[in-house]
Amino acid sequence: MEVRLEPRGPLRGETEVPPDKSISHRAAILGSMAKGRTVATPFLRSLDCLSTVSCLRMLGVEIRLEGSALVVEGDGPESWREPTDVLDAGNSATTMRLLAGALAGRPFLSIISGDSSLRSRPMGRVVEPLRKMGAAIMGRDGDRLPPLAIRGGGLKGIEWNMEVESAQVKSAVLLAGLQAEGETTVRGGLAARDHTERMLSLMGAELSFIDDGVTVRPGTLQGREISIPGDISSAAFLLAAAVLVPGSHLILRRVGLNPTRAGFLSLLNTMGAMIAEYDYEEVDHEPRGTLEARHADLRGVAVDPERVPTMIDELPLLAVVATQAEGETVVRGAAELRVKESDRIAGVCGELRKMGARIEELPDGFVVRGPVRLRGAEVDPRGDHRIAMALAVAALVAEGTTTIRGWECTEVSFPGFLQLLETGLTR
């Protein structure tokens, strides 16, 4: 599906963004590993999260969508059954990597695969630690690529030093560790999102935090009610649009403000955006609050590579924002972007250049020189939801019409983004 976007007037009004995708996945998986009922509200009904739900159903978990909630009647991982077919994680690496960790503890065969994008994404990073814990696990291309075949059970706790700052790897090892004999320690990964650790302790797991990591002891999770905040990664598109389009004034309520996810917000402020944050509260171990953004003049920034994990999914959008900022914006230390849903460095640089951006590709990031007046063009987000939505924000400040191909990819994280942009806000 192709969408055509024109530059538009200011974004004005107040809205909520969809529930957090990372937390929704975790509520479904941890709820399915717990004993008792978990009710997670509101649950994100995007394709990625629905992939997680359908995999869990194939494992025999009683799990249903009721209104805006996800209800899981958990009976512990011991109740999971060998699936009779291949588990399909769709486009979602979170589904594949977190479930690989959980399935490493189960004494049956499961095979997990996904779409062509997911089948090209690195899995050695979860295969290695899970194998060290005792799971039999194999994949394509020397065990580096999906599909993964897992025959788990009989796990022993390990100490694992993370090579990449990845929340998905950290989570996979912790979910296996919960079912292992003895303690499991993950070192590193402190800057990567910590939703798994927060939800594990909410559900009664024995976790201890050490200087450079976290230790989990085997145990049983308790099902419970979980309130899910709005997704800051979805909010980011609206905030960026408000900051870029003159006359905008936007209020977003109950947005998740977990510090391991909020890097883009503070970066926008460093660039001059002055986004206000209020009504701060912590609910079910996750902070949330209201964000208020207005149009602002921005200046370029050099991103601290250590902060990259806290804004990893927002970097394609940062490239767009940087085209409108005065001076140079430099992103380095972000080579992980090349192994996301697409090669996001190549994708965002290639497509923004078609719109007239001055952007240079680096092996581990990019350099943008601004400000430039973007011009509408025909662009291809390469099947990647975050690039598609970043290009839609670019279209709002470009001269003429921008045509974005393959818009349907946005369904994996932010169904209704276009409608919200077009009609959901009062102008």
Positions marked active-site: 313
Interaction with ligand S3P in 92-111: which residues (CB under 6 A)? 94
Query: Among 10-18, 133-141, 162-170, 280-288, which window interacts with ligand S3P (CB under 6 A)?
Result: 162-170
- Least distance (Å) from ligand S3P to the CB of residue 246? 31
Near ligand S3P by CB under 6 A: residue from 24, 91, 168, 248: 168
> By the 8 A CB rule, do 316 and 239 touch?
no
Q: Dihedrals φ, ψ of 421, to 5°?
A: -65, -40
Query: Among 112-120, 160-168, 270-278, 287-295, which window interacts with ligand S3P (CB under 6 A)?
Result: 160-168
Count Cα atoms within 13 angstroms, Cβ side, for 348.
Answer: 35
For ligand S3P, the closer of residues 121 and 295 by Cβ is 121
Handedness of CA 313, 65, 15, 224 (dihedral sign): negative
- Least distance (Å) from ligand S3P to the CB of residue 333? 13
Query: Among 70-78, 166-174, 268-276, 372-380, which window interacts with ligand S3P (CB under 6 A)?
Result: 166-174
66, 194, 211 from 168: Cα distances, Å: 27, 10, 20
> By the 8 A CB rule, do 122 and 148 touch?
no
Regarding 52 and contact with ligand S3P (CB under 6 A), the answer is no
For ligand S3P, the closer of residues 166 and 185 by Cβ is 166
202, 237, 295 from 11: Cα distances, Å: 37, 12, 9
Regarding 166 and contact with ligand S3P (CB under 6 A), the answer is yes
- Least distance (Å) from ligand S3P to the CB of residue 22? 3
Block residue for tokens 């389009």: 245
* Chain position whose Cβ is nearest to ligand S3P: 22
For ligand S3P, the closer of residues 299 and 332 by Cβ is 332
Near ligand S3P by CB under 6 A: residue from 312, 322, 388, 396: 312
Near ligand S3P by CB under 6 A: residue from 63, 102, 167, 397: 167
Near ligand S3P by CB under 6 A: residue from 197, 313, 351, 411: 313
Choose among 281, 273, 225: nearest CA to 255.
281
> By the 8 A CB rule, do 424 and 25 touch?
no
Regarding 231 and contact with ligand S3P (CB under 6 A), the answer is no
Which residues pair with residue 81 across a beta bridge?
none
Near ligand S3P by CB under 6 A: residue from 193, 224, 254, 344: 193
Other beta carbons less than 10 A from residue 370's beta carbon: 20
DSSP code per residue over 315-353? HHHHHHHHTTSBEEEEE-S-GGGGGSSS-HHHHHHHHHH
Positions in the binding site for ligand S3P (CB under 6 A): 22, 25, 94, 166-168, 192-193, 312-313, 336
